[in-house]
Copies of this chain bind each other. A is one copy, B any other.
Amino acid sequence: MSDKTTVGVGMVGYAFMGRVHSQAWRSVGAFFDLPLVPRMAVLAGRSKERTEAAAAQLGWADVETDWRELVRRDDVQIVDICTPGDSHAEIAIAALQAGKHVICEKPLANTVAEAEAMVAAAAGAAGKSMVAFNYRRVPAVALARRYVEDGRIGEIRHVRAAYLQDWIVDPEFPLVWRLQKDKAGAGALGDIGSHIVDAAQFITGELVVGVSALTETFIKERPLAEESAGLAATGSATKGPVTVDDAALFIGRLSGGGLASFEATRFANGRKNAMRMEIFGSRGSLAFDFEAMNELWVSSGGGGFERILVTEPDHPYAGAWWPPGHGLGYEHTFTHEVRDFLEAVATGADPTPSFADGLRVQRVLAAVEQSAAEDSRYTNVED
């Protein structure tokens, strides 16, 4: 392996997303035969002390306290953006302008305008760019896509997409950044709704062309947060307004003529990370729930649904890991993501999902917000 070209990675942010991206960079070379070997070069964060501690724990060789410095470094060829959505555009555009390859966490940006600027920057850039909709790299989701491509499902009649979580059911859960519009852009809609819009478009190979939407914020005020890294936080006695949606429901039409429903909520008591897709076609059907992520359910239209344990050697990504029946976990979706990104960088291919794909998701979210604001009126998604 020593004769392989290495590529330096610089990561911005080290909270939840930064931790899982680190594990991906650290592990990918042990399981995949890579054309480029990633080197975990630099981690950027605002606090020197905390960034250094994170770098030590997560395995990054150096730190920066300003992402601009990271972007400038010669030992960094790939910039991996794991910050909240409000800084995605600025960092990504700067990195692309500096000739770097960019992986950016989802949603691509907090507004369509930002996302458009990012797409423009990506279009003219030497570096490759990808938005990190990691669920595309769940083996079962990738297998679902394969089945649709192979024609096993036929014409898509109906997509049922849901992303159900419950981590803010408690009214005392504090006002973390994910509940503030200026930082997060949107609530359940942007955070997890974006995933199911992307997954639906990815698996079906179609676009959501119009939507009708309802959104709701059940708990209007929450204790101010003493923010810390990760999702966890502790609340204070003072309250502040929740400025994003707690739940977003929308129905829509697909470019192929089918119907679709989307439900993103953080109030589904007892559901922890139920990212679900149920897809009904003229020839067959598919069902998936991330809470049982190693399973894909497939019907060929008779009286049965087959539970496929997606761990066979010929299943997407699965052959790189363990024998059949030895399942994968959440983090592996990111390992697959960086593997495919490295492959694209090495071969000069355009990685997917592209920034343009991310923008398309953003436009769907924007249409959802517009519909919700206009009496749920059916709203076409801009192209």
> How many angstroms from the CA of A22 to the CA of B257 in the assembled complex?
42
Judge whether A325 is part of the interface by a CB distance below 8 angstroms: yes
A259–B247 contact, CB under 8 A? yes
Judge whether A212 is part of the interface by a CB distance below 8 angstroms: yes
B291–A309 contact, CB under 8 A? yes
Taking CB atoms, residues of chain B closer than 8 Å to A328 are: 329-330
Taking CB atoms, residues of chain B closer than 8 Å to A1 are: 53, 56-57
Task: Kindly provide the distance from the CB of A148 to the nearest chain B CB, expressed in whole angstroms.
Answer: 13
Q: Enumerate A206-248 residues with CB–CB distance to B below 8 Å.
A: 212-214, 216, 218, 231, 247
Taking CB atoms, residues of chain B closer than 8 Å to A323 are: 16, 167, 231, 272-273
Taking CB atoms, residues of chain B closer than 8 Å to A247 are: 157-158, 259
Given contacts A26-B27, A303-B315, A306-B305, contact A263 B20 (CB under 8 A): no
> How many angstroms from the CA of A217 to the CA of B376 in the assembled complex?
22
Given contacts A167-B323, A323-B231, contact A269 B283 (CB under 8 A): yes
A160–B162 contact, CB under 8 A? yes
A271–B285 contact, CB under 8 A? yes
Q: Enumerate A123-173 residues with CB–CB distance to B below 8 Å.
A: 157-158, 160, 162, 164-167, 169
Q: Enumerate A260-317 residues with CB–CB distance to B below 8 Å.
A: 261, 263, 265, 267-274, 280-285, 290-295, 298-312, 315
B263–A261 contact, CB under 8 A? yes
A327–B330 contact, CB under 8 A? yes
Given contacts A280-B267, A309-B272, A323-B273, contact A212 B304 (CB under 8 A): no
Taking CB atoms, residues of chain B closer than 8 Å to A290 are: 325
B214–A251 contact, CB under 8 A? yes
Judge whether A30 is part of the interface by a CB distance below 8 angstroms: yes
Task: Kindly provide the distance from the CB of A78 to the nearest chain B CB, expressed in whole angstroms.
Answer: 19
Chain B residue, CB-CB nearest to A308: B304
> How many angstroms from the CA of A167 to the CA of B158 in the assembled complex?
15
A324–B272 contact, CB under 8 A? yes
Taking CB atoms, residues of chain B closer than 8 Å to A329 are: 294, 326-329, 331-332
Taking CB atoms, residues of chain B closer than 8 Å to A312 are: 302-303
Judge whether A23 is part of the interface by a CB distance below 8 angstroms: yes
Set B214, B307, B375: member contacting A377, Cβ < 8 A? B375
Judge whether A99 is part of the interface by a CB distance below 8 angstroms: no
Judge whether A59 is part of the interface by a CB distance below 8 angstroms: yes
Set B298, B301, B378: member contacting A169, Cβ < 8 A? B301
Judge whether A79 is part of the interface by a CB distance below 8 angstroms: no
A324–B167 contact, CB under 8 A? yes
B309–A306 contact, CB under 8 A? no
Judge whether A67 is part of the interface by a CB distance below 8 angstroms: no
> How many angstroms from the CA of A10 to the CA of B1 in the assembled complex?
20
B327–A303 contact, CB under 8 A? no
Set B23, B265, B284, B326: member contacting A158, Cβ < 8 A? B265
A-B residue pairs, 3 tightest by C-beta? A272-B325, A273-B325, A270-B299
13 contacts between A and B (CB under 8 A): A157-B267, A158-B268, A164-B280, A212-B251, A212-B376, A267-B280, A270-B300, A270-B303, A273-B326, A291-B325, A304-B307, A304-B309, A322-B330
Residues of A within 8 A of B (CB): 1-2, 16, 19-20, 22-23, 26-27, 29-30, 53, 56-59, 157-158, 160, 162, 164-167, 169, 212-214, 216, 218, 231, 247, 249-253, 257, 259, 261, 263, 265, 267-274, 280-285, 290-295, 298-312, 315, 321-332, 371, 375-378
